[in-house]
Amino acid sequence: MKRILYIITFALAAQFSRAQQRPQYTQYVFNNYLLNPALSGIENYTDVKLGYRSQWTGLDGAPVTSYFSINAPIGNNFLQGDATAFPAGGGLNPSSRAYTQNYMAAEPHHGVGLTIVSDKTGPISQTNIDATYAYHLGITEKLNLAVGVSGGFSHNMIDKSKLNPAVADDPTIRDLAGSQWKPDLGIGVWAYSSNYFFGVSAQQILPQNLYITTSTSSVQNKTVPHYFVTGGVKLFVSEDITLMPSALLKFIAPVPVTFDVNMKMSFQDKFWIGGSYRRNDSYAALVGFNLSSLINVGYSYDFTTSALNTVSHGSHEIVLGILLNNRYKVTCPQHTF
């Protein structure tokens, strides 16, 4: 009996007691929408992202995350006459000083979207399906403010076939609550201009009890709210080369506050490289390419610095972006970085 409880406790510790219960992303700058619903409809096209992250490769049962996200704007004034979306062909490069000087706040508009995130750690898996909504408003000539909300469901599962009991028909395994659906809710605020952004968001704000029960004992695991604060600024190295330092703070009780610090260098609207540091966890190298007005791609590799570096070969993350209904044929985001 104790052996089975140890197995379950270890799996739960990996899924629910690590720095955060929700997945972490090295390339959060490439898709802040995953952390903040206020980014719904921020661009002049339908933004589709497909992502895959293999964390701590080489460690059996390590976290694996995959996701699909899509969001689009609603509002003819924004879609057909946004001040930063210049004539078809892409207009000014968002990495240029001229773009910053000519930037005007976006027309008021709505945004809607959908995220599907699957996270698997050992025998435990969690899938979150959330619809999102945001409203964008220009509060000054160059500053936009967006407020967003997400809502949906979280599906939590334990694969009993991956647990090997020492005793056949052990009640610890037999009585597991192997599949549960729970409501999910998140909110966010996002302020953005041509050369900086700042956002605050909360995920999983409806705490839920996840029970694993047996005939003789009960182990309770409670979800907790996740709070994120992120910001970044664009600095010009030359006319077409920019640096963008950014940071992501994570507040998840009862663990200590943690953070990610990123530096991204963009070369016109063609490609970018970068580096990242995650407190007490890893360093990372990042690279991305804007291949056309339809497709872009980003890749990162995390070098583990925690005690897991003796058994882990690092973490891989790849993100594929697809720009649908891209009427201005831009090859990189105009309102995000």
231-278 pLDDT, tens digit per residue, is 999 998 988 889 999 999 999 988 888 999 999 999 987 899 999 999
Question: Where residue 14 falls among pLDDT bands split at 50, 70, 90?
Answer: very low
User: Could you give phi then psi for residue 2, rounded to 5 degrees?
Assistant: -60, -40
In the predicted structure, residue 82 carries a pLDDT above the cut 90: no
The torsion angles phi and psi of 6, rounded to 5 degrees, stand at -65, -45
Domains of the chain: 37-324 (2.40.160.40)
Report the distance separating Cα 125 and Cα 302, nearest Å.
Answer: 22
Read off the pLDDT of each residue in 294-298 and give the average, rounded to a whole number: 96
At 217, the pLDDT band (50, 70, 90 cuts) reads very low
**Tokens 């594929």 correspond to what residue?**
320
Cα(261)–Cα(205) distance, rounded to whole angstroms?
A: 25
Kindly report which listed range (23-37, 87-101, 119-133, 279-293) carries the lowest average pLDDT score: 87-101
The DSSP H or E segment spanning 74 is: strand 64-74
% of the chain at pLDDT higher than 90: 49
Query: Above pLDDT 70, what percent of the chain?
Result: 80
Mean pLDDT of the chain: 83
Residues sharing a CB contact under 8 Å with residue 153, sequence separation 6 or more, in sequence order: 128, 129, 130, 181, 182, 183, 184
Whole-model pTM: value is: 0.85
How far is the C-alpha of 315 from the C-alpha of 302, rounded, in Å?
5
Q: What is the pLDDT of residues 22-64, one digit of tens each?
A: 888 999 988 999 999 999 999 999 999 999 999 877 777 788 9
3-state secondary structure of 107: coil
